[in-house]
Amino acid sequence: MRRLPAEWEPQSGVMLTWPHAETPWADQLERVESLYAELAALIARYEGVLIVCRDADHAEHARGLATGAGADPARLRLGLAPSNDTWTRDHGPIGLLTDGVRPLLLDFRFNGWGGKFQADLDTRITGRLSEAGVFGDAPREESPLVLEGGAIETDGRGTLLAVTRTLVDPLRNPGRSREDIEQELTARLGIRHFLWLERGAISGDDTDGHIDTLARFCDPGTICHARGEDPTDPDYAELRAMEQELKALRDPDGQPYRLVPLPSPAPILDADGERLPAGYANFLIINGAILLPVYGDPADAEAQSVLSGLFPGRAILPLDCRPLIRQGGSLHCISMPLPAGVLAFAP
């Protein structure tokens, strides 16, 4: 039996694909590498960190930056694979548990969010790492479906939450209906209950509405979500429409979900005056902590307070993600947790 675990379940580590000069981060590489080093050090307080690098020299460079930021060297592992970009959530493996305990890594196709960006190297990263033995004995299984990890959210009990257009898309999965995709996800991920949204989007997002920028399970009965607060904001109508859809959802027992709105930071614009995708739903859950993207905004403290109430017993660790949103994503988008049993590190 297969089960897609919730992000709050035990992890062996988090996978990061490290930036380099041939990625779109080139014009702010030093700044974004500093962020990655700080992130690796924060994760390493609680679990392992798998850092994917383009070659051996790049790996030693990344190791030096991470340890220089305070990461425990014993909790770092370096893997080698060429990359186009660093959105690990969307090109990394999706970890399952089979028979309750044995990990299985699903390798779905990644085509740059429907061909918007080059992804020929990224889609092969999981296979290259698996062939090199980076994932130990965890088997890898390929699927012909285009599926990005940021497009799906689960309660760990067989329920999947997603925005329809990020999967049912002629540029991602031509010719596949929602029913076809549900059958594939049931077979591959053990999903038994589907929650589909049609509305919801934030400005500056290249993914067409990944759920990890919009709504997240906090426990099997609770969903936190981005919320439109200013009627003059271009995102207001879509987020309010999404909120109405969330109110109509029911869990497998027919009960409504407890919905908890997240605050909204003030708009952050790029040099051309375009809105960047700043939001708090893109947090990362790790063993013992929540890593929260912050943006130098008064709402940062409110978001920290909301998540502290939703995840009692976990530290809430803020990380300034203003460099990340310049490329269209945030903290959750650059990271992929691996379930217990995939990576082995000293306690």
Identity of residue 35? L
C-alpha closest to that of 310 among 281, 337, 339 = 281
Q: Rounded to the nearest 5°, which phi and psi values hold at 104?
A: -140, 130
Q: At what angle do helices 29-44 and 56-68 cross, to 10 degrees?
A: 70
Q: How far apart are CA 329 and CA 289, in angstroms?
A: 21
- Report the DSSP pairing between strands 102-109 and 140-146: parallel
Question: Would you call 53 a catalytic residue per the annotation?
Answer: no
What tokens were used for 310? 């939703």
Buried residues in 174-201 as b, exposed as e (16+ CB within 10 A): eebeeeebbebbbebbbbebbbbbebbb
**Distance, CA of 91 to CA of 237 (rounded, Å):** 31
The DSSP 8-state label assigned to residue 149 in this structure reads G
d(CA 346, CA 195): 39
Mode of pairing for the β-strands spanning 284-286 and 193-197: unpaired
Cα separation, 118 vs 106, in Å, equals 21
Other beta carbons within 10 Å of 170: 9
Helix, strand, coil percentages for the chain (3-state, nearest 5): 30, 25, 45
Radius of gyration of the CA atoms of the chain, in A: 19
**Catalytic member of 53, 218, 321, 333:** 333
Q: Which residues are catalytic?
A: 333
